[in-house]
Structure 1
Amino acid sequence: MKKYDQYKNSGVEWLGEIPEHWEIKSFKNILIERNEKNQPIKSKEILSLSIDKGVTLYAEKTTNLDRFKDDFTQYKLAYKGDLVFNSMNMIVGAVGVSNYFGCVSPVYYTYHGGLNNSHTSKFYEYLFRCKTVQGVLYSLGKGLIAIDRGEGKYNTLRLKVSRDDLRSMKLPFPNLSEQATIANFLDDKTAKIDQAVTLKQNQIELLKERRQILIHKAVTRGLNPNAKLKESGVKWIGEIPEHWEIKRFRNTFKLGKGLTITKENLTDEGILCVNYGEIHSKFGFEVNPEIHKLKCVHPDYLINNSSSLINEGDFVFADTSEDLQGSGNFTYLNSKEQVFAGYHTVIARPSDNIISRFIAYEFDSLVFRSQIQAKVKGVKVYSITQSILKGLSVLVPPKSEQLEIVNHLDNSTKKIDIAISLKKQEIEKLKEYKMSLIDEVVTGKVKVS
């Protein structure tokens, strides 16, 4: 991509040089605030902002509308084509052009580019989604910086940018024709990048399905295609090899519970500890302190809480999940290190005739997960109790066959896992390219035509 013929100093530190014919204007002199109240009620559609999806209808979210007042007359209206900001989340890209007519809660700011500026909103949506501008917004934000919600999720979004600070920002202002050219160019390019990302995400899903099929077949039928089969008596499982056993979880594992602690009890030094959030987001299947970084607890917990220590081959289940699909998420300790099971966990210690890695593959299969998902109950949080685990059925082949299946699946799934990892890296590169492209175009570092 080529550059503009001539540049000048913008006088704005974060922006640097801009094309010579571009102007610098205050936000308040570019975009007009929408202050029209929803009274008498003109719209019952409540608008929301998603970082990934832009402006959406609140009804599309999983959360219901009960928390909103019945009277929306004090909400401000937003029209199709308006540029909507979430004052609390704009620092990470919660900015979007609305495709709807509706009303917005007081946490939102709504602006438009005037009657003849149809492309202005779109140009400034791209500008406010670029990393350079987000860095400026971050410096203007006031409030909480980061709250660890567990499961690898963080509220890093609660920095409110005030209306006055937003309106005072100095911004680049290409002429209206160039705004349209830039907006159309980025619409086209980002759509193609998004399509490429979606394609790779679909490929990842297909690889995951293939992995699940391999695991399901191995842990329910074994590796011998000529083995005689029998009915398992469990509808989730169907037929199994005639010489395999089917046992109750309660007869195959001894159950325990993790430490009764909170995140505040975790430290950087001491006795290693694995917690439910890490099971959901980081480890899964297996945890090895030589590979995975774990938080710790004070050694004093060894005095009265030794029952919460896990040994090599022990399993740790997360006892709650935010969705049904996460019910049954677990990890097993693939190390001789001394490790505690942390808060919100259930410990399962296998009997001697179990190879933990085999049973980990079984726990990772849909045939096992379906048993759990049929028993757990919840709306926003799904809980797994020791009682639920005790009633589950577990397939147990002879130990020698367990080892053969483990070796087979280690080899087969490794290839798939490598392929998935490569696809994820490709997705990240595409996303980085998209952000870089937007940044360079809307700040005038490169010219589009």
Structure 2
Amino acid sequence: MTKSLGSHPTYENYRDSGVECYGSVPAHWKTLANKYIFALNKNLVGKNSSRYTLLSLTLGGIIKRDMDNPEGKFPAEFDTYQEVAPGDFVFCLFDVEETPRTIGLSSLHGMITGAYTVFRPRRKFDEEYLQYLYLSLDSGKRLRFLYKGLRNTIPKDVFLAFKSLTPPIQEQRLIARFLSIKTAQIDQAIRTKKHQIELLKERKQILIQRTVTLGLDPDAPMRDSGIEWIGQIPAHWEVVFNRRLFREKSRPVQGDELPLSLSQVDGVVPSDEMKERSLSPAHRKNFKLCFPGDLVVNRFKGHLGVFFESAFEGVVTFHYGVFVPQKGVVTKYFEHLFHTEPYKTIYAGASNGMTVGLQNLSNNNFYAIKSLLPSVDEQTEICSYIEDHSARIDQAANNISSQIERLKEYKASLINSAVTGKIKVPGVVEPAELKEREFA
């Protein structure tokens, strides 16, 4: 499906468009100022906002805002919001460089923030073609030469003076139809590959859970663990309280240690490498020193399995728990064990607080949890097995992720090539060809 763009036919005759972001275009295509294509359509809803559906401009286009599970801030009143009708274009003409998607064609009737600009296309222009044209310009942020000011704003008069590419209306429709079919196929392929990644993640989680609770010997005699959610375990394994496995220990902080953060994805990492948002306190009062091999716990996310072995020496915020492994404990094994769904459930029940995100796992409750304890050699072998097999699964997932990125790149290139005439879509007949047919 993702054949190279070079396999598509091109037009016979090209000319310079005279517009920086288009380059050469088919000779019979025109460029037309947006004031002849779009009409500004600012109808404020005023006191009638209760009659309108609240809309948002997202990466997926213009959607109905979820009021049952609202996210983000809402104004005290919506009087300054503006009406949007099916067929209207919504543009975010400020912070263009930083905004992931700044254009949407609405299929809904509702209202949207007055900060956006709503245009209604004039007759004799295909809405879908115009949407693909501006999605392509936006995805590549190729309108930088129109920006004004520190907020990378495109003033309305500048936008209305900008020239859009306008093939003959029949070509616009053929291009839109071609892209609608092709992008749907690409999107379906991406969804399929994302599902494959989810299956790999599930397979990895099952492998880890099976290994840390059942061991590596399929013929080992089994017995009931006595722990709800766990079930059968190898008969020679122990079941002990966490207080026997880990103990929190206070160590003096000098003030020049490496600042560390706890990521739900990457574990214990230097704070300056943290991908997620983290706190940067002005001082290190009550900070905790941790060493390689320590178990670091986010007390508020124990129910999410945020337990990680530290590979670094440094300091973490006092909100975290830092536990020193006792004799016979391989911390990495317990990191894997506490990431399993049964232990997430166990820690959810041991955390205090009814509000999600504010469920605190106290030391006493952590110590009172029972955990599985294979021998040191088995813990080490299990960790090596998980590391080896997880690496293979992760590599397979990474390969599929690379395929997804290539599909996205192909989709963007395909759209750009079609809307700017770098390729000729099926069904298009150039004017010169028409003349030849008339005299044939």
- Do these two structures clear the TM 0.5 threshold for a shared fold by scoring above it? yes
**Equivalent AA in structure 2 for residue 32 of structure 1:** A
Deviation at 1:68, TM superposition (A): 4.1
Deviation at 1:195, TM superposition (A): 0.6
Relative to structure 1, is the Cα distance of residues 250 and 137 closer, same or farther in structure 2, using a 3 angstrom cutoff?
farther
Would you say 1:274 and 2:252 are equivalent positions? no
Deviation at 1:274, TM superposition (A): 3.1
Task: Supply the distance in 1 between the matched residues of 2:393 and 2:340 (Cα, whole angstroms).
Answer: 15
Deviation at 1:413, TM superposition (A): 1.9
**Equivalent AA in structure 2 for residue 135 of structure 1:** K
Q: Does structure 2 conserve the Cα–Cα contact (< 8 Å) formed by 1:90 and 1:134?
A: no
Deviation at 1:202, TM superposition (A): 0.6
Deviates most, 250-259 or 237-246:
250-259
Match of 1:2 in 2: 9
Would you say 1:430 and 2:430 are equivalent positions? no
- The Cα offsets for residues 118-162 of structure 1, whole Å up to 9 and x where unpaired, read as x22x22322222266642445626556xxxxxxxxxxxxxx5544
What SS does structure 2 have at the residue aligned with 1:15? Answer: coil
2:418 maps to which of 423, 436, 441? 441
Match of 1:100 in 2: 108
**How many percent of aligned residue pairs carry the same amino acid?**
28
Match of 2:48 in 1: 41
Task: Supply the distance in 1 between the matched residues of 2:180 and 2:167 (Cα, whole angstroms).
Answer: 17
2:377 maps to which of 379, 400, 417? 400
Match of 1:149 in 2: none
Deviates most, 229-238 or 401-410:
229-238
Any stretches of 5+ residues in structure 2 without a counterpart?
1-7, 275-280, 427-440
Q: Does structure 2 conserve the Cα–Cα contact (< 8 Å) formed by 1:275 and 1:343?
A: no
Match of 1:147 in 2: none
- The Cα offsets for residues 52-73 of structure 1, whole Å up to 9 and x where unpaired, read as x21111126842598344x545
Deviates most, 89-98 or 347-356:
89-98
Task: Supply the distance in 2 between the matched residues of 1:6 and 1:163 (Cα, whole angstroms).
Answer: 34
Match of 2:330 in 1: 355
Match of 1:58 in 2: 65
What SS does structure 1 have at the residue aligned with 2:111? Answer: strand
Task: Supply the distance in 2 between the matched residues of 1:55 and 1:417 (Cα, whole angstroms).
Answer: 34
Deviation at 1:44, TM superposition (A): 2.4
Deviation at 1:308, TM superposition (A): 3.1
Match of 1:80 in 2: 86
Would you say 1:29 and 2:36 are equivalent positions? yes
Q: Does structure 2 conserve the Cα–Cα contact (< 8 Å) formed by 1:259 and 1:343?
A: no
2:121 maps to which of 109, 113, 117? 113
Deviation at 1:246, TM superposition (A): 2.9
**Equivalent AA in structure 1 for residue 386 of structure 2:** L
Deviation at 1:422, TM superposition (A): 0.9
Superposition map of 1:96-245 within 5 A: 96-115=104-123, 117=125, 119-120=126-127, 122-130=128-136, 134-137=140-143, 140=147, 142=149, 160-245=153-238
TM-score normalised by length of structure 1: 0.77
**Equivalent AA in structure 1 for residue 64 of structure 2:** L
Deviation at 1:271, TM superposition (A): 5.5
Task: Supply the distance in 2 between the matched residues of 1:209 and 1:314 (Cα, whole angstroms).
Answer: 27
**Equivalent AA in structure 1 for residue 296 of structure 2:** V
What SS does structure 2 have at the residue aligned with 1:130? Answer: helix
Deviation at 1:363, TM superposition (A): 2.5
Any stretches of 5+ residues in structure 1 without a counterpart?
145-158, 296-300
Task: Supply the distance in 1 between the matched residues of 2:35 and 2:356 (Cα, whole angstroms).
Answer: 41
Relative to structure 1, is the Cα distance of residues 104 and 223 closer, same or farther in structure 2, using a 3 angstrom cutoff?
same
Larger radius of gyration: 2
Q: Which runs of 4+ in 1 moved over 6 A?
A: 256-260, 303-307
Relative to structure 1, is the Cα distance of residues 318 and 33 closer, same or farther in structure 2, using a 3 angstrom cutoff?
farther
Relative to structure 1, is the Cα distance of residues 226 and 436 closer, same or farther in structure 2, using a 3 angstrom cutoff?
same
Deviation at 1:182, TM superposition (A): 1.4
Task: Supply the distance in 2 between the matched residues of 1:237 and 1:87 (Cα, whole angstroms).
Answer: 55
What SS does structure 1 have at the residue aligned with 2:195? Answer: helix
Deviates most, 380-389 or 200-209:
380-389
Relative to structure 1, is the Cα distance of residues 294 and 73 closer, same or farther in structure 2, using a 3 angstrom cutoff?
closer
Deviation at 1:214, TM superposition (A): 1.0
- The Cα offsets for residues 299-322 of structure 1, whole Å up to 9 and x where unpaired, read as xx9x9879633322223344567x
**Equivalent AA in structure 1 for residue 260 of structure 2:** V
**Equivalent AA in structure 2 for residue 312 of structure 1:** P
Task: Supply the distance in 2 between the matched residues of 1:55 and 1:377 (Cα, whole angstroms).
Answer: 38
Q: Does structure 2 conserve the Cα–Cα contact (< 8 Å) formed by 1:258 and 1:342?
A: no
- The Cα offsets for residues 88-131 of structure 1, whole Å up to 9 and x where unpaired, read as 565422422212111111122222223554x22x2232222226
**Equivalent AA in structure 2 for residue 38 of structure 1:** V
What SS does structure 1 have at the residue aligned with 2:220? Answer: coil
Task: Supply the distance in 2 between the matched residues of 1:257 and 1:446 (Cα, whole angstroms).
Answer: 68
Root-mean-square deviation over aligned CA pairs: 3.6
Deviates most, 78-87 or 415-424:
78-87
Deviation at 1:401, TM superposition (A): 1.6
Task: Supply the distance in 1 between the matched residues of 2:320 and 2:241 (Cα, whole angstroms).
Answer: 20
- Report how many residues are paired: 405
Relative to structure 1, is the Cα distance of residues 204 and 66 closer, same or farther in structure 2, using a 3 angstrom cutoff?
closer
**Equivalent AA in structure 2 for residue 216 of structure 1:** Q
Match of 1:311 in 2: 291
Task: Supply the distance in 2 between the matched residues of 1:18 and 1:258 (Cα, whole angstroms).
Answer: 69
Would you say 1:332 and 2:325 are equivalent positions? no
**Equivalent AA in structure 2 for residue 221 of structure 1:** L
Q: Does structure 2 conserve the Cα–Cα contact (< 8 Å) formed by 1:128 and 1:134?
A: no
Q: Does structure 2 conserve the Cα–Cα contact (< 8 Å) formed by 1:272 and 1:294?
A: no
Deviates most, 225-234 or 106-115:
225-234
